[in-house]
A and B are shown apart, each in its own frame.
Chain A
Amino acid sequence: MKAGHLRIGSGAGFAGDRWEPAAELVEHGDIDVIAFECLAERTIARETLALLRGSGPGYSPKLEERLRAVLPACAAKGIRIVTNMGAAAPVPAAHAACALAAELDVRDFSCAVLIGDDVRDQLSTRAELTLLESGEPLESILPRMASANAYLGADAVAEAMASGALAVITGRIADPSLFVGPMLHAFGWSYDDYAKLAQATAAGHLLECAGQVTGGYFADPGVKDVADLARLGFPFADITPTGEVTIGKLTDAGGRVDVATCSEQLLYEIDDPGAYITPDCVLDMGGISLRQSAPDRVQVSGARAAPRTSSYKVSVGYFDGYLGEGQLSYGGPNAVARARLAGEIVKQRLALRGFAFDDLRIDLIGLDSLHGPAEGRPEPYEVRLRVAGKTENRAAAEAVGWEVAALYTNGPSGGAGDFSSVREILAVQSVLLARDLVPTRIKLIETR
């Protein structure tokens, strides 16, 4: 810690995020901690299945590449790493990180692994729990369950950091908690100090999507311009021991940090802004004030929080059939009518072959695929037919793309550029599980 504050950088906002901004923060950002959020809702279900089938390591497939970009500098400067890249296999992830450290000649590297988010065992005997999305009992999807992971909180991250290991590797954890944990650890705040937890959670929420607070997902040319978006930098937060928070970015990096970018990100994926539920607290954004304190610096104040709830949210991934998809483009005079006819033909041919779908959707990309149909839109010069069918039957899913490709010689004139895919659908629903049913522990793994 320098100058009386802790500086936490955000190194990734999703599994496929860019590497360069994290390296930039580590090299030039004067940061104390860097956190990588790489686990979307269904990513962990996908990694669990990969592990079961032997088709992947169970942790983030990009873990090595991502850490390679920052590990030597982090070790040299003592920058702590916190990440949920452990996904469904946090212990093997830590071994992989240690092996990488050895390869890079990084000495005395160790990982603290947070274990306990995998609650498949606990759920297997609790079929009566209610699914928050569908209202059905858990029983309805239990036979198809692929993964079940509790969103752990900042207390467990802080405990892992207390081990002294340079890196903390977790599976499922609430995104803001990845950032709140290092603050708890650095300042020794009580886990019941809700004034601090409120500010910390607001900061964590602003940082969790990385570039989305520095000008990513923001630009609307001519109206909302972002300077040097190609070199978009990732954010950091400066936090004081009393819980003052300032969000910023490096001066040389692309992007912008101002009240507009912070306002958009504060409300991102929020239901009731008065009650944003995390494992650490229930954040009330109603008193938050955002103030531009310097160029590319926004001060965040006034966050309030109610005590945390008595349960963890558990994300349950389950197999939900297949999605078959096919696409083909039409251009020039009457392109829309030819594409519509083509879609109708595919629908009829699938029915003639006896295939049924839970949902069979026909879009014209360029006209109605994103926002649905509307009166009075001008006809585009070219459109792309997209047919997508969801079904339990893999053969039916495969038939979708097949019938779209068959339009070449069996459909309207001028179809071009086919694409087809079939993928397994891993759906996610949630249940609540009492905290005392989710014990956690820390496992230390060191370079051999």
Chain B
Amino acid sequence: MTLTVRDIAHARAGDKGERVNVSVIAHDSAGYERLLRELSETRVLAAYAPVAHGPVRRYAVPNLLALNFVIENVRGGSVTATTALDIHGKSLSALMLAIPLFGNEPET
């Protein structure tokens, strides 16, 4: 079975106008190291390509075992003027959780 981000972390999305931030918080430090290795800006942008033009910025927050991604230029414009059903991008955390993880067996 393919491991996904959801198996080692949780996430929350919030909006700031035409950008959305998605935090990814690992359940433990091994998970955090794995997120740090695998969740590059490029991979996250690829996962969000259907909903955002990018670019994507990544901030490491090791004290919270978290990465914070800021995804620019969400398609359809800002929260206040978009035609999208999800005007705030609130569902976009789930897209992060679905990203498959490569590499080895689950780190136990």
Contact = CB atoms under 8 A, between A and B. Distances in A.
Interface of A: 41-42, 133, 217-218, 220, 223-224, 260, 263-274, 285-290, 302, 320, 323, 359-361, 363, 365, 368-374, 386, 388-390, 425-430
Given A264-B10, A302-B63, A389-B83, A359 B25 contact: no
A260 B25 contact: yes
B50 A320 contact: no
B105 interface: no
A216 to B, nearest CB: 11
A266 B64 contact: yes
Given A263-B64, A267-B12, A371 B92 contact: yes
21 contacts: A260-B25, A263-B64, A264-B10, A267-B14, A267-B21, A268-B12, A268-B23, A269-B16, A270-B14, A285-B64, A288-B63, A288-B64, A289-B63, A359-B83, A361-B76, A361-B83, A361-B84, A371-B92, A371-B94, A390-B81, A429-B17
For chain B, the bracket of interface size reads 35 or more
A426 B84 CA distance: 15
Given A41-B80, A264-B23, A372 B64 contact: no
B81 A427 contact: yes
B102 interface: no
Contact of B68 (A133, A267, A373): A267
Given A270-B21, A271-B21, A386 B85 contact: yes
Interface of B: 6, 10-12, 14-19, 21, 23, 25, 50-51, 59, 61, 63-66, 68, 70, 75-81, 83-86, 90-92, 94-95
Contacts of A285: 61, 63-64
Nearest to A302: B63
B51 A270 contact: no
Contacts of B64: 263, 266-267, 285, 288, 290
B90 to A, nearest CB: 8
B51 to A, nearest CB: 5
Nearest to B23: A267
A212 to B, nearest CB: 8
A151 B85 CA distance: 28
B25 A264 contact: yes
Contacts of B68: 267, 270, 273
Contacts of B11: 264
Nearest to B95: A371
Contact of B81 (A217, A267, A320): A320
A359 B76 contact: yes
B55 to A, nearest CB: 13
Given A272-B59, A360-B83, A370-B85, 11 more contacts: A41-B80, A267-B61, A267-B64, A270-B14, A290-B64, A361-B83, A369-B85, A370-B92, A390-B83, A425-B80, A428-B78
